[in-house]
Homo-oligomer: A and B are copies of this chain.
Amino acid sequence: MAEPRAQRPRIADVAREAGVSKTAVSFAFNSPERLAPDTASRIRNVAEQLGYTPHPVARMLTQRQTMTLGVLTPQALSVIFSNPFFGAFSEGVAVIAEEHGYGLHFISPLHGSLAQAMSRATIDGVVAVGLSAGHPEVEEIRRAGLPIVLVDSTALPEYASVDIDDVGGARAAGEYIASLGHRDVLVLGVEAPAPGGPGQAEVTTRRLRGYRDAFARVGVEIPGERMLAGPASIAGGVALMNRAWEDGLRPTAVLAMSDAMAIGAMHALRDLRVDVPGDVSVVGFDDIDLAPHVDPPLTTVHQPIRRKGEEAARLLLTVVERRDLAKPEHRRLETRLIVRASTGPVPNHRKEVAGDRH
């Protein structure tokens, strides 16, 4: 009396039950016009009552497409999802993917290997975010021969890409801070998730250049020790800010390369009884949805996060749908500074005669 098998029915079962060939069943679903109308509907009835659904993997194999887009990140998904930036970005990708009937598959390093994760994923193309050219596995990844769109890294010019004006955005933030009189700043950068130990993400390099440009104009140099890098999360911001304080750093302004870090930094400062923006000004980067709602409302560099995801998905889909890989498109989105309440003038007692060095 054991259950014979609770297997899902296969196409052959439907064919047998309906007294037709597998081909006919396939036609009933995919090209009903090739069957007599009543045959087609009879087959569909049988299928329905058997609870038959075509096996998606088998279908993919023959059709050579998966109707799925990948989102690849060099970080573990766990760190990625804790940054609101990523949620908004995914939202953008998801909107376009959904519109075109594609599903979404997230790819992160498997047992430390991105290439391995890639080779396991059944996708038609991939949006790679923050994949720097120096990543040890890019070569293996590109060899998969999949359509790729790069986000926030222009380093592989043969692929389409979407990024933002990091330098300009950071420069605007730096100039504003400099104009408030700040000369002693701390930069919080995002760490590259390189498997060979933390390095510096491309994004970090570009934004740092923007900050430095801005301060160079007022004759101030931002020394290397004034930049700390860590994970782009609230916790990361807290940790970095505390470390800086313990190291005796007493900047009048903090330039964070992500809103999450900025929020973390403000939290740490509050715990240290430091007033923001009275004692220390804080600027973020991203302008996440919550930036206006934190306390104090965050001054930050806006980037169109959702649109970034949308553009990336759109670019990818044009490559995926027509197989036309010609001239990869590079799209750069604008940034702009949004001044809110986390920034203010240098406190009087900290006004230095800095800028001129004597």
Contacts and interface: CB of A to CB of B under 8 A. Distances in A.
A223 B8 CA distance: 48
A295 interface: yes
Contacts of A121: 56, 103
18 contacts: A53-B144, A57-B60, A57-B122, A61-B61, A66-B122, A76-B94, A76-B95, A77-B90, A77-B95, A82-B91, A94-B106, A98-B110, A103-B120, A103-B121, A104-B105, A106-B106, A290-B293, A293-B294
Contacts of A88: 81-82
A107 interface: yes
Interface in A97-115: 97-98, 101, 103-108, 110-111
A91 B87 contact: no
A251 interface: no
A155 to B, nearest CB: 21
Number of copies: 2
A297 interface: yes
Given A60-B122, A77-B90, A295-B296, 15 more contacts: A8-B144, A53-B119, A56-B119, A56-B121, A56-B122, A57-B57, A57-B122, A68-B122, A77-B98, A78-B91, A94-B108, A103-B105, A104-B106, A267-B293, A294-B294
Contacts of A295: 293-297
Contacts of A103: 105-107, 110, 117, 120-121
A289 interface: yes
A210 interface: no
Contacts of A110: 98, 101, 103
